[in-house]
């Protein structure tokens, strides 16, 4: 009986690994959905647990906030994304979540030390979004989540708020491209490296190049 249990456990691990590898192969087959080159501002080093020798990068981007002036994330947009919320008094613990696709734009410039990536649209159809944002070196379309919930403003008053996240925010760096990054510590000053990412058929990114940036002369 123990041997059967061990055999089934081994087979389960094999099936899981094969499924993961098949997903990676499918994502990277065919032409890339997008190819972008980002710097440390957009892909800072991700803190790893002690003893973890792997290197990962975190996707940093600027998010809109529902209720801000001139934001695209207004009530009409939330309703388009499938959110339905009451008028007037909001029920306690109100919280809705929608899985959708985010559009991240790579701006030419940004304030010093801030990411040039900004979430500038969202939708439920990735192909339709790509038709609207056709520049594959400027616009990233990736799976994400938007939450609408009851929070508090700076004065402590209850208000509807939003928060968005990418489904894949941490990006593993293969050993073949990790050499320069291995000796770096986290830093939020002048960007020290550039990373070229490809997004595949599943809209998931992988690293194809890492190169150091020329540091300014003191």
Task: Give residue-wise pLDDT tens across range 148-197.
Answer: 887 776 676 777 888 899 998 899 999 888 888 887 877 767 899 999 99
For residue 167, is it within any domain?
yes
126 found inside a domain = yes
| Model pTM score | 0.82
pLDDT at 138: 96
- In a domain, residue 8? The reply is no
In the predicted model, is pLDDT for residue 50 greater than 60? no
pLDDT value of position 69: 74
Residue 95 domain-assigned (yes or no): yes
Q: Which residue has the higher pLDDT, 216 or 174?
A: 174
CA distances from 193 to 15, 19, 43, 174, 215 (A): 37, 33, 9, 16, 9
Residue in 205, 183, 186, 185 with CA at minimum distance from that of residue 196 = 205
Residue 3 lies in a domain: no
132 pLDDT tier (thresholds 50, 70, 90) = very high
pLDDT of amino acid 11: 63
- Does residue 2 sit within a domain? no
Range of the domain at 176: 30-212
Instruction: Tell me how many domains the chain contains.
Output: 1
Using alpha carbons only, what angle is made at residue 22 by residues 59 and 129, rounded to the nearest 5 degrees?
Answer: 45
Cα distances from 59 to residues 70, 110, 176, in angstroms, run 25, 16, 20
Q: Are strands 139-152 and 95-106 parallel, antiparallel or unpaired?
A: antiparallel
């Amino acid at each position: 009986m123990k041997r059967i249990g061990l055999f089934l456990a081994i087979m389960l691990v094999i099936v899981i690994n094969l499924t993961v590898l098949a997903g990676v192969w499918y994502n990277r087959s065919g032409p890339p959905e997008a190819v972008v080159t980002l710097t440390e501002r957009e892909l800072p080093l991700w803190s790893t647990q002690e003893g973890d020798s792997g290197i990962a990068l975190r996707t940093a981007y600027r998010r809109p906030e529902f209720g801000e002036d001139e934001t695209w994330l207004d009530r009409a947009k939330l309703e388009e994304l499938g959110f339905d919320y009451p008028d007037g008094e909001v029920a306690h613990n109100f919280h809705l979540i929608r899985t959708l696709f985010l559009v991240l734009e790579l701006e030419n410039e940004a304030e010093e030390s801030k990411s040039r990536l900004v979430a500038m649209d969202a939708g439920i159809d990735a192909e339709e979004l790509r038709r609207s944002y056709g520049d594959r070196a400027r616009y990233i379309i990736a799976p994400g989540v938007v939450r609408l919930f009851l929070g508090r403003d700076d004065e402590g008053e209850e208000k509807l708020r939003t928060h968005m996240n990418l489904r894949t925010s941490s990006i593993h760096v293969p050993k073949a491209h990790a050499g320069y990054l291995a000796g770096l510590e986290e830093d939020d000053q002048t960007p020290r490296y550039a990373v070229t990412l490809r997004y595949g058929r599943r809209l998931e990114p992988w690293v194809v190049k890492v190169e150091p940036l020329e540091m300014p002369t003191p």
